[in-house]
Every structure is written in structure tokens, then in C-alpha cells.
Chains A and B, each alone.
Chain A
Amino acid sequence: MTTVSRFGALRARLRSPIEPAFLVRRSLGAVVALWGAVTIVFLMLYATGNPAEVLAPETATAEQVAELARQYGFDQPLHKQYLDFLLNVTQGIFPNSLYTARPAFQEVLMRVPNTLLLGFTAVVLGSALGLLIGYLSSSSQNALMRTIPIRVLMFVQSVPNFFMGLLLIYLFSLTLRWLPTSGFSSWRNLILPIVTLACYVAPNVARLFRSTMNETRFDEHILTARAKGISERAVRIRHNAINALAPVTTLIGLQLGGVLAGAVVVETLFAYPGVGQLLVQSVVSRDYPVALAAVILICLGYNLASLLVDILVVIIDPRAQNR
């Protein structure tokens, strides 16, 4: 009879599903995507014809513009400008804001924590709500529980996010006076924006989770689990539900772009001082350095979040790495 140490027994049950090859491949993909995004920004800037004019304040004279052009090297050959641009961006060097005269990246970075808080909480909340309602509508014994919550969510999905926010303001701020309408002076300001954003995430999550649960309910490994004699609840959750999480997590990853776009709108609606609001403000006021810096940082954040979600998917379903 073999003997074994406690460590050996533990090791036999633990193993990371993530293969190094996958990690490398995916990270490389993220870097390439980011490079592509920065290049697109660069191209946008130069497609206007006169980047110096774009980056200079509106009141600048022709001389000042020419001075700026020389300063930033816009008179140099294109490929050299491109390389300089890339180098500068990776180091975080960017022109200053036209209004506050602070470096553009700094302006944006100041706002990142706020948007992160908003976005992260909204995704978590929205996903949790979606999973709950999806589970109910697929596995609940009560017929009402199976139909009503998800129908409500479906209706919510057809309400555009800015209108949803508006309705919430009308109800909770103006009529009931429970919550403030805008700004960021206390935690109360967070509730409505988070709820509005979560309403974007929840419906699709619920729908996909429900259909996946229903589809996989008769999968053979569920039958095998039941054949082992473990409790029905363990079968439903450990085998059915957690396995069904894989496509849902992929979906959440795909929705992150929409969440960021939604954040832009929601922050503007609620005058919430995040990166999205800064982006819109800077775009409207033609503060291009800040606008471009915001775009680049948003892309960075999006790609990182996407990478993390993909890793999460692999942890749930190791087969996803071998696509």
C-alpha cells in the first residue's frame, strides 16, 4: 500500500488550468491590440490634415501654431513622427491640456479611480443580478419566478441607458428625494449611476445563463454526477451552473466595451467625475490632447480587463485555451 504525505495528497488535487503557452499568446495579442489602437489614434490625428492646428488652442495665431508644429516635430517625416509618437505614448509623455496646462495623461489618470469604481461595481452587480435571474428562470420550481423576473429584465434592455438614468433620477431624486442627482460628494452619488450601468450588463447575462443551463441540463456529465448519488443541489450548482458560467463569462468580456461606452454616457448624465465625463467634456471643448489621452487610456483599461476576463474563462473551462 502506498503511503503519501499530506503535501502529496494536496498536490494531487490542485493544479492550475492555465497553460503558459496560452498566457503568452493572449498577452501578446493584447499588446498587439493596444498598439493597433494607438496607431489608429495617430492616424486619426494626422488624417485631419493639420495636427498642429488640432492640438493648438483655438485662439492661437498662425505663428503660434507653426511654433507648436516645430516643437512637436510635425515638420518631420511621417514615419519618424510615428515612432516618436509611439515612444512618447509608452512613456506617458503627451502634450498638455489646453485648459489646465497639466500633462494630459495626468489629467486622465486622476479620474481613473472613479471610473474604475463605477465600472467594476456595475459589472459585478449586473452580472450577479443576471446570474441570479438566469438561474431562477431555468431552475426554479415556481412558474412565476421562472417567467416574470426575466421578462422584466428583457424590457429593461430596450430602455437606452441615458433614458434609464433619466427615469431613475426622476423617480429617486426628484420625486422621492432619496438620492442626489449629480456630482460625487458622497457614496449616495454612486447608487444611481451603478444601477443604470448594471442594467446594461444584466439582461444578456440572464438570457445566456438561462439558455446555457437549459441546454446543458441533459449533458452526460450531469447524468454521471447524478449517478454518483450526490445531492440534487450539488449537481445543479457544482456541475450544471458552474460549467454554464464559461460562456457567460466570455459574454461579459465581450460586453466590457459596451460597459465603457455606457460609462461615458452615464457619467455625463450624472455629472460624475470620471474618465468618460472628461472625454466628453474635452471633446466638446476641443481640448484634444486630453481627449486623445483619454482614448488611449480607455483602450488600455479595456484590453487589460478583457485579458483578465479571458483568464477567468480558462479557469472555469480549461478547454478554452486550445481553440
Chain B
Amino acid sequence: MSFLDIAGLQIEIHSRAGAVHPVRGVSLQIDCGEAVGLVGESGCGKTITSMAIAGLLPQAATLRADRFIVGNLDMHGADAASWREVRRNSVGVIFQNPMKALNPRMLIGTQLVEAMLPQDRKSLRASYLKSMELLEAVGITNPAARLRQYPHELSGGLAQRVVIAMALARGPKLLIADEPTTALDASVQKQILDLIDKLRAELGLAVLMVTHDLGVVRERVDRVAVMYAGRIIENGNTADVIRKSSHPYTAALVAAMPSIDHGPDMPLQGLEGLPPPLIDLPAGCALRPRCSFSSEICARIDPPLEYIARTNHWAACHNNRGDRIELPATAGQILPSVTRLERDPEPIMQVRAVSKVFGERNLLNFRQHNKIPAVSNVSLSISDGEALGIVGESGSGKTTVARMMVGLETPTTGDILFRDRSVAMLAPAGVDQWRREVQFVFQDSSSSLNPRFSVARSIEESLLAVEPDEEVRRKRVGQLLAEVGLTEAMASRRPDQLSGGQRQRVGIARALARNPRLIIADEPVSALDVSVQATILNLLNKLRRERGMSYVIISHDLGVIRYICDRVIVMHRGKIVESGYTEEVLKNPGHDYTKKLIDAAPRHLKELAYA
């Protein structure tokens, strides 16, 4: 029996720039107790669709559908009061960022009570008991203390549990989870997803899991629908959709995810370019500009969602021949061992027993900072041609170590050596050499480029100190842009006119300007969409091959580390808990924490895809 039955949903939003169509024809059914995933990258319309199901669309949006039944009620053209009833009785929603989803000025207890049914909050005692019940059901220990706390006093995982408790307070039949774990650490992600699974089993809930992460969806939902540019382009049983993808976009998504189960010998494939803006879309398939299979019919007719007998699910592509899509080989994909020019066995940089404690007491400011060290007794070394990965969750100290290696922070104790000399004691000529040979790529490209500067000016900055001739600099900037795969035309653009992937390439070009021997990259792909991540990782590999550089890559994603790095260091709360060759550590993790990290990472993705 279906709880949710939507057909032909279209949403239009009027903005100053014109009419935007974030949803262009979505059909979705969810049965009671079923878990369905809605997957797509940013801008595909999945969030708006899920908001429409809960009746939480902004006022400027208009909705049209052939069929729009939520919980046995026809909600097409329903008014605000009916939607409130639906939200009160049948649908619960949890959002991405729990810190933002809770009202910062109200106690947890108060917000929880607000979410309850009238009969549960008749008296203070009744509401208290019900609150405890709800919090215990989501696995919160010591619920009595939590009730009296403010949201900012809770951790991310705890706050998300509270949000789930609030969503379930009235016993809904459908739970809509919009990116419920994106803002959380990897180990906490698993806990929250396990919790949702458990609740689903206990309460017979239907779940709509909206996410960009195929890995999350693989293990937890029965069916998955993939969205692109406002339409569902593939829909079916999860295993089928992933193993036998019948649409190029799905195939690309599957192929682009660096999973810890596949290493540098199986290259990633990404999709260049961006999804189209959803105003005035041209006729035909929305993926056409980026698709390697497109033919003439793709430019004229938007492919309908068709049932494909061979693979037992639905896909919308003119070119599916009823079989699994094979993505064409991309250039430079197979990675031979890195060519070494002259290999200097001596390490480029060494970190020796370094610790870092943050927080200086400000004389007139009577506040005390934490004295917990961010980094504690860390040692590592990196030599020519190597790629070292540092993996850990937020707060592990990995970023601090990276920043100390380039001098953005100074260690409290211990030493950092560049070519066997302590960086603290380098003469200006030595500092110059250090800056020349060791460069840094920042995580968030939107803040690592001055928003007022053109791309060329930002890249040029690296050369200002060494190359006085403007003409030479300009030429060099052009060369660098080409090397990272950007066109000359982009040189005069501003960062806000570029996509995330393009901005990150600019950051890399800037780091390459002085031909470094070592590049330290802090979470180089975390802020990017999955399909774009692959292209950047491929670029990093290509550069390493062509220039013989070494890398130190900081990431929380084991898949990324496995794809690029020969050796890995695992950090937890400021200390190194394990280190060694990547393959070894992943096959036989020694430390408990490493095991936990590996456990929490999505696996089997690629394995199944190539089965």
C-alpha cells in the first residue's frame, strides 16, 4: 500500500531573473515501511522535491502535478491548514545541519515539547516523561541533562539525534531525511544512519533519504531514484541501479566515487562541466553538453523514463541499449608508476616530535582557552616522489600539522626541518627556497582566492616576488592555466564566476607557479561535488606524474587517500595512531580507531559496479 504517490510533479519559482524550474516532472512512490533514496548532486532539485512532499515550499513557488497523494490524502492544491495537518500527523522532517535546525535561544526540552501531540503535553510531568521517552528512543544517554541544555552546548551527533526525536514525536508514517549526515564526522554518520535504520524497523516507518552520497544510499535503502536537472533519470532497485546503471549520469556517479575498495590502478572518472541553470532550459536532454554518448536525438527530445526489461528498472536515456552503460576510457587514466627524474633519497621535509597547543592568554581579556594540545608528539617525513596521506576526523590535528609544515602555524615544541635545517632558523635565502619548493593548496577555494581579484591576478601573486617583468608573468600564468586544464578566457574571470572545481584548479595553478617539489594539500576535494572530485584527483595524479612532485594530502576521506597516496598516517585527537603503506594499513589495520574509520567508510561500490 503506498503512502506517497506523486506523478508528474513540476515546481516553478518566480525570481527576479525569470521563472526557474527546479523540478520538471518527478514521479515517486513510497510504500509504507519502505526506504527510498533520492540521489543527486547540488542543484538537481532533490531538496525542493522533498520539501514539496512536506508542504514546506517557499511562498513564491507554484506546484503542479498529475497526482499528488500524501498519506492517502490528495494534496494537490491543498491549503496551508491541510499541510499543517499532514505535517502534524503523517510526515516528519530532519535537516542537514542540526545546529542550524534547532532554535539557538530555546532549551532542548522546550523545543521537544513543542513538537509533541497535545495529549502528550497536558501537564509538565506528562511532557517530561514523554521527552525522556523520545530521547531514549534515539539513543541519548542522560536525557534529563540534555533537556536543560541549549543547542550550542551539544555536539553535532547529539543535536541530530534530538532533531530526529523531534521529527518522530508525533509518530509520523514517513520520515524525510535531507542530507542528515553531511555535516557530521564519518564515525558519527554511521551511528546516525544506523539509528534511522533501527527506528525504521521498530516503528515501521517509510523513509525518504535525500542525499548526494551514493555510498550512504547503497547500504540503507531498498530503492533509489537518481535526479539530474530537475528530473528523475533513473529509478529502481538499489543494487540494480548501481550495478547495472543504464544512464550515463548514474554510471558516472558510480564511477566517480573514490571508494576505499579501489585503488590507484582503477582510475576515477568524472564529468566535466556543470549542471545547467534551471531557467529557460533548451530542448532535449539536460545532460547532453556533458555526455559522451549524446547523439542527434538527444538534442531534440528530452528522453522519457522508460522501463528497461533487461536490467529491471527505469532509466531516461535514448542511448541505453538495455544494458549496463560502459563509460568510455578517459585519457591519462592508467597510472604507471611515477617516473622519477633524479630521486633524492634525502627527505624534503621532516617533522620531529612536534606538539601544538592553542590559546594564548590575553592580558586584559579574562578568558581561558583550552589547554588540550591540538597536535601531540607527531613525527613524519616526506621524500622526493612520495605521496603521503594524513587521514583523521575533524579535530584530529591533521590540518594543523599541514599548516605547521608550511609555516602558517609554529609548533609549541618539537622541530620542523626543511632539507635538514630547522625552519625556525632559516636565513632569508633559506626561507625563500623553502617557500619555493614547498607549496600549499587550501581546502575552501572560495576563501582562498581574493573575491576582488581576477584569476590571473591571484595566480600572478605567487610570482610577484621573483619575476619583475609583467609580460613574463602573464605568459607564465597562461601556461599554468593550461596545465591545470583551464582556458585563457578564464584568466580575467572572478572567483564567483567560476565553479567549485574550476576554483580549485586555480588554487592548484597558484601552487605550481614556482615549480615546487612538494605540494601540501588540505582537503583538496572535500568542498566539491562528487563528479567533480574525480576530475581534480585525476589532475593531481597527472601533475605528479609529469612533474615528479611529492604530495602530502590531508583528508577525512579514506577513498581519496587510497587513490593518491602511497603511505598514510592516521591521526586521532592530535596523536598519530597508525602509519604505514596505504595498502597495508587498509588491509590490516592495527589500531582500533583505524578499524573504526575503515568500518564507517562506504564500501563495495566499485566492486559491485564491475562485478
A-side residues, CB < 8 A to B, are 1-2, 4, 6, 8-13, 15, 17, 21, 24-25, 28, 218-221, 223-232, 239, 242-243, 246, 316-319, 322
Q: What is the CB-to-nearest-CB distance from B125 to chain A, in angstroms, rounded to a whole number?
A: 5
The 18 sampled A-B contact pairs (Cβ below 8 Å) are A4-B128, A12-B147, A13-B147, A13-B148, A28-B366, A224-B101, A224-B103, A224-B166, A226-B87, A227-B93, A228-B169, A229-B84, A230-B84, A232-B80, A239-B103, A317-B104, A318-B150, A322-B152
**When A and B form their complex, what is the total count of cross-chain residue pairs whose Cβ atoms lie within 8 Å?**
107
Asked if B125 and A4 sit within 8 Å, CB to CB, the answer is yes
Asked if A227 and B148 sit within 8 Å, CB to CB, the answer is no
Q: Given that A4-B125, A4-B128, A219-B100 are contacting pairs, would A227 and B56 also be in contact in the complex, using a CB cutoff of 8 Å?
A: yes
Main secondary structure on B side of the interface with A: helix
For A242, the chain B residues whose CB sits under 8 A away are 105
Q: Given that A12-B109, A25-B366 are contacting pairs, would A224 and B87 also be in contact in the complex, using a CB cutoff of 8 Å?
A: no
Give CA–CA (A221, B93) in the complex, Å: 12
The residues in B between 50 and 64 inclusive whose CB is less than 8 angstroms from any CB of A are: 54, 56, 58
Give CA–CA (A232, B87) in the complex, Å: 12
Asked if B105 and A317 sit within 8 Å, CB to CB, the answer is yes
Asked whether any CB of chain A lies closer than 8 Å to the CB of B95, the reply is yes
For B75, the chain A residues whose CB sits under 8 A away are none
For A246, the chain B residues whose CB sits under 8 A away are 105
Q: What is the CB-to-nearest-CB distance from A309 to chain B, in angstroms, rounded to a whole number?
A: 16
> What sequence of 0s and 1s flags, for each residue 141-184 of chain B, a beta carbon within 8 Å of any chain A beta carbon?
00010011010100000000001001101100000000000000
For B85, the chain A residues whose CB sits under 8 A away are 229
> What sequence of 0s and 1s flags, for each residue 15-57 of chain B, a beta carbon within 8 Å of any chain A beta carbon?
0000000000000000000000000000000000000001010
Which of B95, B103, B109, B366 has most A Cβ within 10 Å? Answer: B103
Give CA–CA (A219, B144) in the complex, Å: 28
Asked whether any CB of chain A lies closer than 8 Å to the CB of B97, the reply is yes
Closest residue of chain A to B84, judged by CB?
Answer: A229
Contact of B125 among A9, A225, A228, A239 (CB under 8 A): A9
Asked whether any CB of chain A lies closer than 8 Å to the CB of B102, the reply is yes
Contact of B124 among A9, A316, A317 (CB under 8 A): A9
Main secondary structure on A side of the interface with B: helix
Closest residue of chain B to A240, judged by CB?
Answer: B103
Q: Given that A228-B166, A229-B88 are contacting pairs, would A12 and B128 also be in contact in the complex, using a CB cutoff of 8 Å?
A: yes
Q: What is the CB-to-nearest-CB distance from A185 to chain B, in angstroms, rounded to a whole number?
A: 45
> What sequence of 0s and 1s flags, for each residue 105-133 of chain B, a beta carbon within 8 Å of any chain A beta carbon?
10101100111000000011101110110
Closest residue of chain B to A230, judged by CB?
Answer: B114
Give CA–CA (A242, B163) in the complex, Å: 21
Asked whether any CB of chain A lies closer than 8 Å to the CB of B92, the reply is yes
Contact of A13 among B91, B101, B109 (CB under 8 A): B109
Give CA–CA (A230, B118) in the complex, Å: 11
Q: Given that A12-B109, A12-B148, A227-B93 are contacting pairs, would A221 and B103 also be in contact in the complex, using a CB cutoff of 8 Å?
A: yes
For B128, the chain A residues whose CB sits under 8 A away are 4, 8-9, 12-13
Asked if A319 and B95 sit within 8 Å, CB to CB, the answer is no
For A9, the chain B residues whose CB sits under 8 A away are 123-125, 127-128
Asked if B54 and A227 sit within 8 Å, CB to CB, the answer is yes
Give CA–CA (A6, B124) in the complex, Å: 7
Give CA–CA (A9, B148) in the complex, Å: 11
Give CA–CA (A243, B103) in the complex, Å: 8
Give CA–CA (A6, B91) in the complex, Å: 32
> What sequence of 0s and 1s flags, for each residue 490-501 of chain B, a beta carbon within 8 Å of any chain A beta carbon?
000000000000
For A228, the chain B residues whose CB sits under 8 A away are 87-88, 114-115, 166, 169
Shortest Cβ-Cβ A-B pairs, 10 listed: A229-B88, A9-B128, A229-B87, A9-B124, A227-B93, A220-B100, A228-B115, A224-B101, A221-B103, A12-B147
Q: What is the CB-to-nearest-CB distance from A238 to chain B, in angstroms, rounded to a whole number?
A: 8
Q: What is the CB-to-nearest-CB distance from A311 to chain B, in angstroms, rounded to a whole number?
A: 14
Asked if A223 and B144 sit within 8 Å, CB to CB, the answer is no
Q: What is the CB-to-nearest-CB distance from B434 to chain A, in angstroms, rounded to a whole number?
A: 37
Q: What is the CB-to-nearest-CB distance from A186 to chain B, in angstroms, rounded to a whole number?
A: 42
Asked if B124 and A225 sit within 8 Å, CB to CB, the answer is no
Contact of A17 among B80, B144, B150 (CB under 8 A): B150
Contact of A231 among B58, B84, B107 (CB under 8 A): B84
Give CA–CA (A225, B96) in the complex, Å: 15
Q: Given that A226-B56, A227-B167, A229-B88 are contacting pairs, would A318 and B95 also be in contact in the complex, using a CB cutoff of 8 Å?
A: no
Asked if A10 and B366 sit within 8 Å, CB to CB, the answer is no
For A225, the chain B residues whose CB sits under 8 A away are 103, 114
For A2, the chain B residues whose CB sits under 8 A away are 129, 132
Q: What is the CB-to-nearest-CB distance from B584 to chain A, in angstroms, rounded to a whole number?
A: 43
Asked if A6 and B103 sit within 8 Å, CB to CB, the answer is no
Asked if A229 and B170 sit within 8 Å, CB to CB, the answer is yes
Give CA–CA (A218, B58) in the complex, Å: 8
For A28, the chain B residues whose CB sits under 8 A away are 366
Q: What is the CB-to-nearest-CB distance from A283 to chain B, in angstroms, rounded to a whole number?
A: 34
Asked if A243 and B105 sit within 8 Å, CB to CB, the answer is yes
